[in-house]
Amino acid sequence: MQKSTVITLSLGAAVIMASIIGFELQKDRVVKETVPVANEAQKIVDFQKEVIPIVESAIKQEYANKPNLFPKQADYYYDNADVNSPKVVFITYQENAKEIRSVLKVLKERLGSKLVVRKGKVNPEILRNLYPKVADYVNSISDKNSSYSIGIDVPSERIMVRGQLSDKQAADIKQKYGEYVNVIVDDRNNIPVNR
């Protein structure tokens, strides 16, 4: 009886040790795999800490007395696709307006190659005005328990609709709002706007 108890305890201890060693190895693997992701995230945070105050200051300085004018002339976003070379991307709609030229001059001086400027195709004011109508329409045609999200995607200059939609519902949204929307059918619950 004692011999089997000793063997059982020894086997139990061996299993526990193997589990601990396996856990430690797994933990090391997870740490090693997460470190690059954490470093990439930190690069993005550092970039945005650097550029956000510069961008906000330039806009505030030029548009302090005209807060509703900037959204008619430009929009911007932070392009973090390449974490080693992130950019501030300005999309201009009235590139010859003196205010936006002044802002871009300051930003080019202070940000250099971290700034990208491109001409916009769809004025963001159109998207902002259309957004509630798209949301109301999607809500009216969606099933009560379906999940969807709607948001303005600045880089694509479109209203993004992602949700549990039928092919017919997706086609109806595209037909009604045309070039102003991107519709993605997604069967998941709690759908994010972004990919």
Mean pLDDT lowest for which of 24-38, 74-88, 115-129, 177-191?
24-38
Average pLDDT over residues 157-175: 92
For residue 10, what pLDDT band results from cuts at 50, 70 and 90?
very low
Range with the poorest average pLDDT among 14-28, 84-98, 173-187: 14-28
User: Do 106 and 132 sit in the same domain of this protein?
Assistant: no
Q: Does residue 12 belong to any structural domain of this protein?
A: no
Asked whether residue 67 falls in the same domain as residue 100, the answer is yes
128 shares its domain with 115: no
pLDDT digits (tens, 9 = 90+) for 50-96: 999 999 999 999 999 998 899 889 999 999 999 999 999 999 999 89
How far is the CA of 33 from the CAs of 37, 176, 187, in angstroms?
7, 45, 29
For residue 110, the enclosing domain spans: 49-119
Given pLDDT bands bounded at 50, 70 and 90, which one contains residue 191?
Answer: low
Residue 48: pLDDT band with limits 50, 70, 90: very high
Torsion angle, alpha carbons of 179, 117, 115, 76, to 10: -40
Q: Mean pLDDT in the chain?
A: 82
- Provide the number of structural domains found in the chain: 2
Residue 189 predicted with pLDDT over 70: no
8 Å CB contact between 93 and 120: yes
Do both 100 and 53 map to the same domain? yes
Closest CA to 123 of 148, 91, 99, 150: 91
Are 157 and 111 part of one and the same domain?
no
Does residue 16 surpass a pLDDT of 50? no
Residue 62 forms part of a structural domain? yes
Last residue of a domain, one of 97, 119, 141: 119
Region 125-135: what's the mean pLDDT? 92
Q: Reduce the DSSP state of residue 83 to 3 states and report it.
A: coil
pLDDT of residue 74: 92
CB 83 within 8 A of CB 44: yes
pLDDT of residue 64: 93
Check residue 35 and give its pLDDT.
Answer: 56
Q: Is there a single domain that holds both residue 115 and residue 130?
A: no
Where residue 176 sits, what CATH number does that domain have? 3.30.300
Q: Of the candidates 103, 119, 135, which is a domain's last residue?
A: 119
Indicate if 57 and 89 belong to the same structural domain: yes
Domain boundary among 86, 104, 119: 119
User: Is 161 within the bounds of a domain?
Assistant: yes
